[in-house]
Amino acid sequence: MTESATIAMSQKSREMIEQGLDVISLSIGQPDFDTPTIIKDAAKKALDENFTKYTPVAGFLGLRQAISNKLLRENKLTYTPKQISVSTGAKQAIINVILALINEGDEVILPAPFWVSYLEQVKFAGGIPVVIPTQVKNDFKITSSELDDAITEKTKLIIYSSPCNPSGSVYNKDELINIAEVVAKHDNLFVLSDEIYEYIDFSNSAVSIATIPEIKDRVITVNGVAKGFAMTGWRIGYAAGPEWLISACNKIQGQFTSGANSIAQQACITALNEGKKLSLDMKSNFLRRRDLMFDLFQEIPGIKVNKPNGAFYLFPDVSSYFGKSNAEFSINNADELCQYLLKDGLVAAVSGTAFGAPNCIRLSYANSDDILIEASSRIKKSLAKLST
């Protein structure tokens, strides 16, 4: 199993900062906002009320009911608390589903770019990742025909995120209906829909594929509080799906970590009951930063970049710089370009190789306008030093 590329680059940039270097890190996927006060107050209240004991493996009933209410209210999805499992972050929810579904040799389709952990988690479960590449000119989205062509008798699961990490792409309802029509033709095919960036959707067109009745019983919806409520350190995610599958996820979780943090769960009840109104200010700031970064990168020669509709990443195609060099560096791929930008420009980015898109790099704009302007300037200057 390879190390997470995002975590590795974040660690490397931290080490350089500790050495006194003025590194700007655009590598980590974390909102730079504080958790809303009403949520923190709920955590303090939970402490005062002594919610400090072991929790049910599936999560507190009150939290699962709050999730059920949220899914109905905001996503038009009907799930009972028994169809919901709470985990230590959405990452654990995803591996629970994969371990519950995937046997040795099962194929799992991953539209690329994909979140770095999907590939390694599938391999860990003995599955075979089947990657469908996409291009920046198509907003990094697959078509239903591409999906149809990738399915074999061994295909068991499709995993995708919308809004997408790392591309920021958002599948609209018509696109998902077309994909669902393909899925519906295969009785043993499941879909894992990762919706962790749901509240950071600038197009306001994101929908849950589980709303399509023909395949709802074969969709697992994964979400959490990290991105939408700036609660990355609280480590609460959840999965909603068929009761038999959620029961299997609980069985797996019960042997690994048991129930998630008690204080965080209680705070999440408040977060989910308050809903997306708590994220509106954060979303508007991310939208402004998206436009700022997009405009700045359009000014860099040789960069191909689309305007993402969600999340907080830019995912430019930098392949025009492959084969270029200067006196100290030779750039042959995105990995080497990221190393060059870190050493020459003191800007940390993540290679697209880890996301299944080796021509790109991922840049997080979860930072202040001034820092983003400075980082973009450094990248532009560093790239200008390279020649054929």
In this predicted model, what pLDDT tens digit does every residue of 277-315 receive, in sequence order?
999 999 999 999 999 999 999 999 999 999 999 999 999
CA distance 129 to 99: 14
Q: Is the pLDDT of residue 4 over 90?
A: no
CA angle 68, 275, 89 (to 5 degrees): 65
pLDDT > 90 fraction of the chain, expressed in percent and rounded:
93
Question: What was the pLDDT predicted at 38?
Answer: 98
Q: Is the pLDDT of residue 333 over 80?
A: yes
Question: What was the pLDDT predicted at 17?
Answer: 86
Q: Is the pLDDT of residue 6 over 80?
A: no
Domains assigned to the chain: 5-34+280-384 (3.90.1150.10), 37-274 (3.40.640.10)
- Burial group, residue 94, by CB count within 10 angstroms (0-12, 13-18, 19+): buried
Q: Provide the whole-model pTM.
A: 0.95
Residue 1 token pair:
């199993």
SS3 31: coil
The confidence band for 179, taking pLDDT boundaries of 50, 70 and 90, is very high
In this predicted model, what pLDDT tens digit does every residue of 213-222 receive, in sequence order?
999 999 999 9
Question: What was the pLDDT predicted at 1?
Answer: 79
Which residues are within 8 A (CB) of 310 and not within 5 positions of it... i.e. 6 or more apart?
Answer: 162, 163, 164, 168, 169, 170, 197, 200, 201, 202, 203, 206
Question: What was the pLDDT predicted at 3?
Answer: 78
Contact 60, 52 (CB under 8 A): no
Give the strands of the sheet with 84-87, arranged side by side.
84-87, 237-240, 219-224, 190-194, 155-161, 107-111, 128-132
